[in-house]
Structure 1
Amino acid sequence: MAIDFNPEDLITPIGRDDINDGFLRLLVGCVNKFGIQIPITLHAHGMLISGIVIANHKFFEAERNKIINGSPKDDDAGSALAEVFQQWQTRMEQENADPDKDVFDDRVTFIHLREAQFFVPGQAPIPQRPIHWRAKLAEISGFSLGQLAVDPS
Structure 2
Amino acid sequence: MAGSNKEKDVILQLMIESVNEHEDYEIPITLNVHGTLVSGNLVSAEYYFQELMEAFSEDNDADKQIYDKLEKATHHLESGEEPGINYVHMKEAKMFDESGTAIPSKGNVLWRGKMKEVDGFFIGKVKES
Q: TM class, shorter-chain normalised?
A: 0.7 to 0.9
Q: Which has the higher helix share?
A: 1
Shift of 1:123: 4.5
Q: Distance in 1 between matches of 2:83 and 2:72?
A: 21
Residue in 2 aligned with 1:92? 77
Query: Pick from 28, 31, 54: which aligns with 1:42?
Result: 31
| 1:30 correspondence with 2:8 | no
8 A Cα contact 2:20 2:43, kept in partner: yes
TM-score (norm 1): 0.75
User: CA separation in 2, counterparts of 1:20 and 1:113?
Assistant: 17
Q: Which residue of 1 aligns with 2:111?
A: 133
CA–CA distance in structure 1, aligned partners of residues 128 and 97 of structure 2: 12
- Where does residue 67 of structure 2 map in the other structure? 82
Give the fraction of aligned pairs with identical amino acids, expressed as a percent: 26
**TM-score (norm: length of structure 2):** 0.88
Partner of 1:21: 9
Moved over 6 A (4+): none
Measured after TM superposition, the shift of residue 40 of structure 1 is: 0.2
Extract unaligned runs of 5+ from structure 2: none
Say if 2:52 is the partner of 1:63.
Answer: yes
RMSD: 2.0
How many residues align structurally?
A: 124
**What are the superposed Cα offsets for residues 2-55 of structure 1, whole Å, 9 maximum, x if unpaired?**
xxxxxxxxxxxxxx9521101100110111011210000000111100000010
1:94 shift after superposition: 2.0
Larger Rg: 1
Greater mean alpha carbon deviation, residues 112-121 or residues 142-151 = 142-151
- Hey, what's the Cα distance between the residues in 2 that align with 1:77 and 1:142? 37
